[in-house]
Amino acid sequence: MHRNRKQIYWFVVILTVFFIVFCSISLVNHYLFRTYALDLGMFNQALRNVAQLQKPTFTLGIAGEEIPFLATHFSPIIFLFTPLCFIFGNYTLLIVQIVAILFGGAGIFLYSKHRTNSDNVTPIVSLIHFLSIWGIYSALTYDFHSNVLGAMLVPWLFLFYERKQYKHAFIVVILAILTFETMTIWFAFIIAALAISSYNRQKLVQVDIPLFAFCVLSAIIIIWVAMPLLQSTSTNMQFERYRWLGETPMQVVLNLILSPINLFKVLFTNTTSDVAYDYIKLEFHIIVLVSGGILFLLKPRFLFMLIPIYMLKMIPNDYNFWGINNQYSIEFVPILSIAAISTISEIKINYRLPFAIALAIVTAAATAFTMENRVSKWYDGINTRFYNKQHYQTEFDIKRINEAIRITDGSKAVSASSRLAPHLNARKIYSYPFVKDAEYILLLPTSNTWPLSADDFKKSIDTLSNSQHFTKVYSDNDLLIFKRNERKAIR
């Protein structure tokens, strides 16, 4: 009993420590205006519209059009968190994401406890290993993404499967499918691997095949029917990033299977013509190996589970997907951790703890190294290095900006710089330079000017300043606000 209390104590302490670390990354970034229109602004806008009993749409896309939220990301699960908007405001989804990661950690702890039986220390070390994997920090650094929620359900699926709690496992699968459209495909591969690795004819017929079929059917309905219908297209627009390898998903798959050269290029080489993007994929493969991926050689079923994730990550002819940045690695986190637990539980008891500690130390060291050094492009270490005082510093007067932007609350439409968009509460929010029917335009003149160049952004401000349609109502070094002039009645 005393040992169990001590284990629970350390479990709570570790979750608390990592909760503070995660908040210091994600919530601090948001407070200091280091979150963006895409994707946190988009999610916040859709969630806020639902909270106001409006259609779940967003207008922050690069075309400035009103788009059904589920057409871009099939993530209806976020609407469950609508009531929290009235408590946490535009921080809601960031808090949900942090809690989800800790929830995934709890699943890892219980799974390790289940696999190692009377061992009281190894589950704690497994929890530390899981919470130290680089993919979590990369995801937290950049906004909110619903695939994080789906990935954090994976440890619970494994736990319920091994406990033979199949009704619970089915609920987990349903929840995962509601987090992100590609979870349908990924969970189908996971279930197939679980069916093969723990073959039982009765379980195969009563559990594995129905769950697998449910995932496949969900994939067809969501990815190939519902989303194209919402997008008003014949094929899912997300497929465009893979079209360079074929005109249809089946052609892409066949081209990769039938051409080992193509498959090698996709997985390991820079498929663009720009040498600046060399070695991004190599960096990713190395960090996977040192974080526990080397164990895939002993347990290839875990590598099989990641086939769709590798393909979705490496097939796009876009370097942003390839590396260790952002949310594009989060699915590897639970699989790496579970592969480690599976391996540890099968070695001699005397070697379990040293092996687990060594893996946790190497993983944490690799993560720390990537916080300081990366080949992957567009990485800003200030956003990630929670241990550095520069992380908590900003060029903006935060209090003054927050006070100034409140004048736009309740507006029907505003246009704003990307880093302001997640903080705004208008019904429609456009990414500047899209203005359309905006009542206000809010700009951070010293911030990132994307999608405009710095010169074009400056010219646009000059144009606004001399416009007959807008009047500058707020101006300082940090923030500019323009208000649309009221139209005079025609007599």
Residue 457, pLDDT > 70, answer yes
Q: How far does the chain reach from its first CA to its final CA, in angstroms? A: 86
For the chain, percent of residues with pLDDT exceeding 70: 98
430 pLDDT band, cuts 50/70/90, is very high
DSSP string, 77-104: GGGGGGGGHHHHGGGHHHHHHHHHHHHH
Per-residue pLDDT reduced to its tens digit, 148-191: 999 999 999 999 999 999 999 999 999 999 999 999 999 999 99
Per-residue pLDDT reduced to its tens digit, 46-85: 999 999 888 899 999 888 888 999 999 999 999 999 999 9
Under DSSP, the state recorded for 121 is S
Sheet holding 470-475, edge to edge: 428-431, 413-416, 440-443, 480-484, 470-475
Question: In Å, what is the CA distance from 386 to each residue of 21, 22, 28, 137?
Answer: 7, 9, 9, 10
Bridge-based pairing state of the strands 470-475 and 428-431: unpaired
How many Å apart are CA 81 and CA 101, to the nearest integer? 16
Residue 490, pLDDT > 80, answer no
Tell me the one-letter amino acid at 305: M
Per-residue pLDDT reduced to its tens digit, 95-146: 999 999 999 999 999 999 999 986 789 999 999 999 999 999 999 999 999 9
Tokens of 144: 């909110």
How many Å apart are CA 223 and CA 235, to the nearest integer? 9
Tell me the β-bridge partners of 441: 415, 482
Tokens of 433: 């330079």
User: What's the rounded mean pLDDT across residues 407-426?
Assistant: 91
Read off the pTM.
0.95
Place of tokens 């994976």: 154
Instruction: Check whether the bond before 433 is cis (ω within 30° of 0).
Output: yes
Nearest CA to 97 out of 129, 154, 38, 143 is that of 143
How many Å apart are CA 330 and CA 147, to the nearest integer? 8
How many Å apart are CA 261 and CA 10, to the nearest integer? 49
Instruction: Check whether the bond before 249 is cis (ω within 30° of 0).
Output: no
Grouping H, G, I as helix, E, B as strand and the rest as coil, residue 288 is: helix
How many Å apart are CA 180 and CA 328, to the nearest integer? 13
Q: What does the mean pLDDT of the chain come to?
A: 92
pLDDT for the residue 487: 61
Enumerate residues 6+ apart whose C-beta is below 8 A from 362. 290, 291
Widest CA span in the chain: 91
pLDDT for the residue 472: 93
Q: Is 130 left (phi over 0), alpha (psi -120 to 50) or beta?
A: alpha
pLDDT for the residue 1: 57
Under DSSP, the state recorded for 280 is H
How many Å apart are CA 178 and CA 174, to the nearest integer? 6
Better-predicted residue by pLDDT, 315 or 257: 315
Enumerate residues 6+ apart whose C-beta is below 8 A from 39. 143, 144, 145
Q: Count of residues for the chain?
A: 491
Better-predicted residue by pLDDT, 250 or 212: 212
DSSP string, 365-434: HHHHHHHH--SSTT--GGGT-TTSGGGG--SS-HHHHHHHHGGGTT-SEEEE-TTTGGG---SEEEETT-
Decide: residue 5, CB within 10 A, 0-12 exposed, 13-18 middle, 19+ buried: exposed
DSSP string, 39-64: IIIHHHHHHHHHHTT--SEE--STT-
Per-residue pLDDT reduced to its tens digit, 218-231: 999 999 999 999 98
Decide: residue 198, CB within 10 A, 0-12 exposed, 13-18 middle, 19+ buried: middle
Asked which of 82-91, 324-333, 478-487 is least confident by mean pLDDT, the reply is 478-487
Better-predicted residue by pLDDT, 253 or 21: 21
Domain limits, the chain? 2-33+73-383, 398-484
Tokens of 460: 């646009």
Residue 233, pLDDT > 90, answer no
